[in-house]
């Protein structure tokens, strides 16, 4: 009877659709953990997660299975592998885990609970599997629930009743603020109910709007943390397991890394989401408008930390309304970050549009239309540079602006990605202060401050007319963000928000702005999900919507 096992955790960053590349990552992970008896990979490591409708292409699913079978045939020696993969069997497609041992696929288990809420829609593409039995691996009965299978008691209970001795849960669990604690609580609940130790193996990396934070861990039967992998990067660890005198298994040894929480975790999510979107899509770098304001300063810092200064190009595009402070702050921010920086005035474009539209606009007062022309002139400039040189334009609007439509379509909303799309303005200020005082791990930017203190201190302004301030059009950001969080993340009614102490007229106005701006958000570039409910996969409201009830 086996009394010791070395189980390796391979927390990898696959690319959705890159079957060959992902198999290479799996092969490399197995080599890193060659001393293990078994190496565990995350959910759908072969296809990348989430594969969405790509997995519905029969040729894709078939290629995944063929790649797994070919890899299994190679494994005549060394550790066995437990890999997540799509698996077509009996005319049905499953989210599966396959045990590769002894030159063959020795066992396959299917995911039972398919999530179909928030960012998940697995019922669209997969069939639910039957309740699983444990896998017999070297006379050790290992239960393998897949991700959602541990979010309710049923699957783990079935495995425990079927004789499982160790629970190993491959996961593809995306990040949101507070999620690591929620995961830990779920695992502790399953361990408490079953009396079995549980290994949680998570994916890491960015995939469109989702970011996976890794942070794989092991909890033993006494609910103690026995191993903790790093967050926000690929990581590999060998955990040592022993069978005790009573026959129960425990993790005797494993690394315990620190995992960032709070503001650092938000910053890492934005940084990793941007890095993987740029790198996995093959862009040489990014291009952004550096205005001297706080949003573009934070976006530039995230970009430099993610990609390095050599891959970030910043452009200041002043108008006659751009202040001297903004010009100085943008230049100083670029210097502190070490990025390429140039000035391209939009004055000539404004003059050209004034002349071109003079007859059409005759007899009208200048207003928001003319302000939007400035924004669109900047957007056109950035897109022209992008087309010419290949860099992706990074949009810089925050969640507060996206919520109330304080942004211009085809202007400041131009871009292929937005690193701060799911970050409220008040949190933008907090992140800027934090980044100026800290050097996050795994960054390519400077260790010291990344923006002038004045950028954080001065009142926000779009500078589209003389002496303009954001608060001319919006409530103070602490008030606005407090209302928006209750509306969006909390799904509270206007009456509930007013009862919490907010002014009724202000609440009604913000509610209306949130409603009528849906069409803008629909056309906005993707950005990393950081909050509990982002604009995108989490919140899918109809554009044509006659429901206007507030209270």
Tell me the per-residue pLDDT of 395-426, one tens digit each, with 9 for 90 and over.
Answer: 999 999 999 999 999 999 999 999 999 999 99
What pLDDT score does 409 carry?
92
Mean pLDDT for 297-302 is 98
- Which residues lie below 8 Å from residue 440, measured CB to CB, with a gap of 6+? 260, 264, 267, 268, 271, 305
Q: Which residue in 25, 64, 111, 314 is the catalytic one?
A: 111
Mean pLDDT of the 127-151 span: 95
Mean pLDDT of 257-284: 95
Where do we find the tokens 């069997």? 89
Confidence at residue 114, expressed as pLDDT on a 0 to 100 scale: 94
**pLDDT at residue number 71:** 97
Among candidate residues 25, 64, 122, 147, the one labeled active-site is 147
Question: How high is the pLDDT of residue 471?
Answer: 73
Residues 197, 220: Cα–Cα separation, whole Å? 4
Distance CA 342, CA 385 (A): 12
Residue written as tokens 């602006």? Answer: 401
Cα→Cα distances 40→15, 135, 184, 307, Å: 18, 13, 19, 30
Query: Which DSSP symbol is given to 345?
Result: -
Reported as half-sphere exposure (CB side, CA atoms, 13 A), residue 88 has a value of 16
Is 43 marked active-site? yes
> Tell me, what's the pLDDT at 141?
96
> Which residues contact residue 509 at a Cβ distance below 8 angstroms, ignoring those fewer than 6 apart?
none
Q: Are 24 and 260 within 8 A, CB to CB?
A: no
Q: Read off the pTM.
A: 0.94
Least confident of 180-184, 190-194, 358-362, 458-462: 458-462
Quick one: pLDDT at residue 537? 81
Interatomic CA distance for residues 385 and 111, integer angstroms: 47
pLDDT confidence tier of residue 467, bands split at 50, 70 and 90 = confident
Structure tokens at 145: 């629930």
Residue 69 a catalytic site member: no
pLDDT band at 549 (very low <50, low <70, confident <90, very high): low
pLDDT of residue 550: 57
% of the chain beyond a pLDDT of 90:
85
User: Rounded to whole angstroms, how far apart are CA atoms 412 and 419?
Assistant: 14
Q: Count CA within 13 A, CB hemisphere, residue 180.
A: 20
- Range in 325-334, 346-355, 437-446 the model is least confident about: 437-446
111 is catalytic: yes
Contact (CB, 8 A) for 9 and 201: yes
2 — pLDDT class (breaks 50, 70, 90): confident
Least trusted range by pLDDT, from 118-122, 354-358, 490-494, 546-550: 546-550
Name the pLDDT band for 1 (thresholds 50, 70, 90): low
CA dist., res. 396 & res. 376, Å (int): 14
């Amino acid at each position: 009877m086996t009394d010791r096992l070395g189980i390796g955790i391979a927390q990898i960053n696959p690319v959705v659709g890159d079957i060959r590349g992902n198999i290479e990552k799996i092969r490399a992970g197995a080599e890193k953990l060659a001393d293990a008896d078994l190496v565990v990979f995350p959910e759908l490591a072969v296809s990348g997660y989430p594969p969405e409708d790509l997995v519905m292409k029969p040729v894709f699913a078939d290629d995944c299975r063929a790649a797994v079978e070919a890899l299994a045939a190679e494994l005549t020696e060394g550790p066995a592998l437990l890999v997540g993969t799509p698996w077509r069997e009996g005319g049905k497609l499953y989210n599966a885990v396959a045990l590769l041992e002894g030159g063959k696929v020795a066992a396959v288990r299917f995911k039972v609970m398919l999530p179909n809420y928030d960012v998940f829609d697995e019922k669209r593409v997969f069939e639910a599997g039957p309740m699983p039995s444990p896998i017999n691996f070297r006379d050790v009965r290992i239960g393998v629930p897949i991700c959602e299978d541990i979010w309710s008691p049923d699957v783990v209970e079935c495995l425990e009743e079927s004789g499982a001795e160790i629970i190993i849960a491959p996961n593809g669990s995306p990040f949101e603020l507070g999620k690591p604690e929620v995961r830990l609580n779920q695992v502790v609940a399953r361990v408490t109910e079953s009396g079995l130790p549980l290994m949680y193996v998570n994916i890491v990396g960015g995939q469109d709007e989702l970011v996976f934070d890794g942070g794989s861990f092991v909890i033993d039967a006494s609910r103690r943390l026995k191993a903790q992998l790093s967050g926000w990067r690929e990581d590999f660890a060998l955990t040592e397991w022993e069978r005790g005198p009573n026959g129960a298994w425990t993790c005797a040894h494993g690394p315990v890394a620190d995992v960032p929480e709070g503001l650092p975790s938000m910053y890492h999510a934005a940084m990793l989401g941007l890095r993987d979107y740029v790198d996995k899509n093959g862009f040489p770098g990014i291009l952004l408008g550096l205005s001297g304001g706080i949003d573009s300063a934070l976006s530039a810092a995230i970009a430099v930390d993610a990609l390095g200064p050599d891959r970030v190009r910043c452009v200041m595009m002043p108008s006659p309304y751009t202040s001297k402070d903004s010009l100085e702050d943008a230049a100083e921010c670029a210097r502190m970050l070490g990025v390429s920086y140039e000035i391209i005035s939009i004055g000539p474009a404004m003059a050209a549009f004034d002349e071109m539209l003079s007859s059409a606009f005759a007899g009208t007062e200048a207003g928001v239309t003319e302000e939007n022309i400035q924004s669109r002139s900047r957007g056109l400039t950035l897109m022209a540079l992008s087309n010419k040189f290949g860099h992706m334009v990074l949009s810089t609007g925050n969640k507060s602006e996206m919520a109330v439509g304080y942004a211009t379509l085809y202007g400041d909303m131009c871009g292929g990605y937005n690193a701060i799309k799911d970050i409220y303005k008040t949190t933008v200020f907090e992140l800027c202060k934090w980044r100026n005082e800290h050097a996050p791990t795994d960054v390519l930017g400077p260790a010291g401050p990344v923006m002038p203190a004045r950028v954080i201190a001065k009142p926000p302004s779009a500078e589209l007319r003389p002496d303009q301030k954001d608060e001319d059009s919006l409530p103070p950001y602490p008030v606005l963000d407090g209302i928006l969080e209750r509306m969006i993340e909390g799904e509270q009614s206007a009456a509930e928000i007013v009862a919490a102490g907010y002014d009724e007229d202000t609440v009604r106005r913000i509610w209306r702005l949130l409603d009528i701006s849906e069409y803008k958000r629909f056309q906005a570039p993707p950005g990393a999900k950081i909050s509990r409910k982002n604009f995108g996969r989490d919140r899918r409201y109809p554009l044509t919507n006659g429901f206007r009830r507030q209270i």
